[in-house]
Amino acid sequence: MDISVVIPLFNEEESLPELFSWIKRVMDENRFTYEVYFVNDGSTDHSWQVIEQLQTENPDVVHGIKFRRNYGKSPALFCGFARVQGDVVITMDADLQDSPDEIPELYRMITEDGYDLVSGYKMNRSKGDPLSKTIPTKLFNATARKVSGIHNLHDFNCGLKAYRREVVKNIEVYGEMHRYIPYLAKNAGFSKIGEKRVHHQKRKFGKSKFMGWNRFVNGYLDLLSLWFLDSFGLKPMHVFGFVGTLMFIIGFLAVIAVGATKLYYISNGIAHPLVTNSPYFYIALTTMILGTQLFVAGFLGELISRNAPERNNYHIEKEI
């Protein structure tokens, strides 16, 4: 199969028929063999009924996954990626803001230019979106480029992306890590990552699911988590153990200094308050305790990292 299209969605019943018709036209014109996975992420409208109708009309092409509740975009992508069979996997949003007309060129960049992953770059996005969305997006992308080392991407969070099948089968997308799929791919050893300028269309139906600054803050926390996991995820003792040991040694030396000062005053007959009356004693003691706790945290992290349970466990109500 040439192409698998994965479309996560939440309350997009009006957009789905037009989106699939558009995808079908593009695929037929280019004579691609393809499949489309609609992942219904706990929609409360009639999105699933629309998907069932599309599947009835196109049984060999359309597939659907229905979550029992809303989990988020990353779980939807994870479940879609687990099922795809196409040589090239395309992801896009269901709101008609991503153009299926971009698919042939994305496919060519993967199959002919040899990219592992190609991410869309919606250059004209700021013209139609509010400042509450564009400013956080620019800050987020600048930070993501710096932390990930993928300097050629301008829009990490663009839903329109293309991958070699091997990429999606070798990365784990969980939580809200869909923003950092290029970073996940790079960490998995897929280093040839490209970008394509794509057309950004105005939303035709419904309203944006963008949550403003709250999602911006969560994005930074996720980026820090991913950086830490990449650097120390399999060796937490290296960071917690090092910092803990360093803090313990500093605290221990400080306690020795406080005790030596007390002995010095005693040996010279100089009056001096009790050691326990000195704030430095308690600061040093607290430092030793914190150091010990960090060391133990690193040890426990080592045990957990070697026996981590499966975290991608989502309740699927129905699959067609």
pLDDT at 300 over 60: yes
Higher pLDDT, 259 or 37: 37
Verify that 141 and 212 share a domain, yes or no.
yes
pLDDT score for 125: 57
Chain centre to alpha carbon of residue 174: 7
Q: For the chain, what is the domain count?
A: 2
Residue 299: inside a domain: yes
**Domain range enclosing 39:** 3-232
Verify that 8 and 99 share a domain, yes or no.
yes
Verify that 298 and 269 share a domain, yes or no.
yes
Verify that 176 and 282 share a domain, yes or no.
no
- What pLDDT, in 10s, does the model give residues 184-227? 999 899 999 999 999 877 766 666 655 555 666 767 777 777 77
3-class SS string, the chain: CCEEEEEEECCCCCHHHHHHHHHHHHHHHCCCCEEEEEEECCCCCCHHHHHHHHHHHCCCCEEEEEECCCCCHHHHHHHHHHHCCCCEEEECCCCCCECHHHHHHHHHHHHCCCCCEEEEEECCHHHHCCHHHHHHHHHHHHHHHHHHCCCCCCCCCCCCEEEEHHHHCCCCCCCCHHHHHHHHHHHCCCCCEEEEEECECCCCCCCCCCCCHHHHHHHHHHHHHHHHHHHHCCCHHHHHHHHHHHHHHHHHHHHHHHHHHHHHHHHCCCCCCCHHHCHHHHHHHHHHHHHHHHHHHHHHHHHHHCCCCCCCCCCEEEEC
pLDDT score for 34: 98
- What pLDDT, in 10s, does the model give residues 115-151? 999 999 987 655 556 666 677 778 888 888 998 999 9
Residue 13: inside a domain: yes
Q: Write out the two tokens for 229.
A: 């996991």
Chain centre to alpha carbon of residue 106: 22
Verify that 215 and 258 share a domain, yes or no.
no
Query: What is the CATH number for 199?
Result: 3.90.550.10
- What pLDDT, in 10s, does the model give residues 301-317? 766 655 555 567 778 88
pLDDT score for 308: 57
Residue with tokens 């956080």: 136
Residue 320: inside a domain: no
Which of 197, 232, 267 is a domain's end point? 232
Separation CA 107–CA 90 (nearest Å): 8
Verify that 9 and 148 share a domain, yes or no.
yes
Verify that 258 and 125 share a domain, yes or no.
no
Residue 313: inside a domain: no
Verify that 25 and 125 share a domain, yes or no.
yes
- What pLDDT, in 10s, does the model give residues 257-293? 888 888 888 888 777 777 777 788 888 889 999 999 8
21: confidence class by pLDDT, cuts 50, 70, 90: very high
Q: Which of 271, 288, 270 is nearest to 280 (CA)?
A: 288
Residue 269: inside a domain: yes
Residue 253: inside a domain: yes
Which of 232, 256, 271 is a domain's end point? 232
pLDDT score for 229: 67
Q: Write out the two tokens for 41.
A: 């992420």
Separation CA 296–CA 302 (nearest Å): 10
